Amino acid sequence: MSDFNLSAFSDAIADSAAAAAPATASFATHHHRTATAFHWNDGYFVTAEEAVETGEEIELTLAAGETVKAELVGRDPSTGVALLKPAGAASAPSLAKADAVRPGSLAITVGNSEGAALAVFGTVGEVGPAWRSMRGGTIDRRINLAVNAGSRFEGGPVLDAKGALIGMLLFGPRRRALVMPYETIERAVATLREKGHVARGYLGAGLHPVRNGDTHGAMVMSLDDNGPAKAAGLHLGDIIVSWNGEAVHGPRELIRKLGPDSAGASVTLGVVRGGERRDVAVTIGEKPLS
């Protein structure tokens, strides 16, 4: 006979979610749905960057039911983190940081819907090393979830079995649930508080994928008049096939390299022009905010 107590397990999950609920808030997004935010520290809240729009009015409904206006301090598309600052002294607890998790570790996702607490649990499906997002952000750990969480949980905290913070829930391609780990959030928040944005690399070229025989790369279809690509001498029709000697098979790979750490860097692009291979030195710019 098993000693496992299902009722005690259920209560433990519910208790962990209830302990985190006061740190959460909800808001209506520009997609006409509800998303979650949670208190990071010093009165600042974090949420999913995809859920907010620059210039829109944001009202946070706190766990106690109070509604407060919030300023969008900044957003970082490369990590999916947005930083909000409620007006006045919005009081909410901060969540302790979790230890490392493994595949199969319990994961509790907490949300908020107009002040009402939401919670689901599942497991960590995959844990991997640092990776680059599709917009070039460096993500400290790959953590994918096996959890059935709807859109109202987006931007909410993901907890371990002790109720400590693993990171923030985001949705990747095909609405796959993944975690933006707290180390990455911490780095993004520090920059957003200081500058209001996270710099992204800027090439100033419109690109299109090319697969022509043995040549795979990103063809230059347009050039910004004042962009780094034009200044470096790139031409329309050039096919970019490498970045500092590393093969580039299409625009997506090139865009991933234009992350925050690329701004201001001098790189060598391998280019095919008129069937001939050449190297072009480019100083990567900083993407304009507009």
Q: Which amino acid would we find at residue 181? A: P
Q: pTM of the prediction?
A: 0.86
The total number of structural domains in the chain stands at: 2
> Is there a single domain that holds both residue 260 and residue 154?
no
> Is there a single domain that holds both residue 49 and residue 93?
yes
**Are 192 and 83 spatial neighbours (Cβ–Cβ below 8 Å)?**
yes
Give the containing element (helix H, strand E) for 286: strand 285-286
For the chain, the first-to-last Cα distance in angstroms comes to 65
Q: Which of 165, 197, 229 is the last residue of a domain?
A: 197
Name the one residue in this structure whose structure tokens are 């905010």: 289
> Is there a single domain that holds both residue 175 and residue 130?
yes
> Is there a single domain that holds both residue 135 and residue 231?
no
**Are 168 and 185 spatial neighbours (Cβ–Cβ below 8 Å)?**
yes
> Is there a single domain that holds both residue 193 and residue 274?
no
Name the one residue in this structure whose structure tokens are 């930083």: 83
**Are 127 and 145 spatial neighbours (Cβ–Cβ below 8 Å)?**
no
Q: Which of 161, 179, 197 is the last residue of a domain?
A: 197
Per-residue model confidence as pLDDT tens for the chain (290 residues): 468 899 999 999 999 999 999 999 999 987 789 999 999 999 999 999 999 987 788 999 999 889 999 999 999 999 999 999 998 766 789 999 999 999 999 999 999 999 999 999 999 999 999 999 988 899 999 999 999 999 999 999 999 999 999 999 999 888 899 999 999 999 999 999 999 988 889 999 999 999 988 889 999 999 999 999 999 999 999 999 999 999 999 999 999 899 888 989 999 999 999 989 999 999 999 987 65
DSSP state of 86: E
Q: Which of 146, 162, 197 is the last residue of a domain?
A: 197
> Is there a single domain that holds both residue 80 and residue 102?
yes
Q: Which amino acid would we find at residue 134? A: M
CA distance 232 to 113: 50
CA distance 56 to 71: 9
**Looking at residue 280, which CATH number applies to its domain?**
2.30.42.10
Whole domain around residue 158: which residue ranges? 1-197
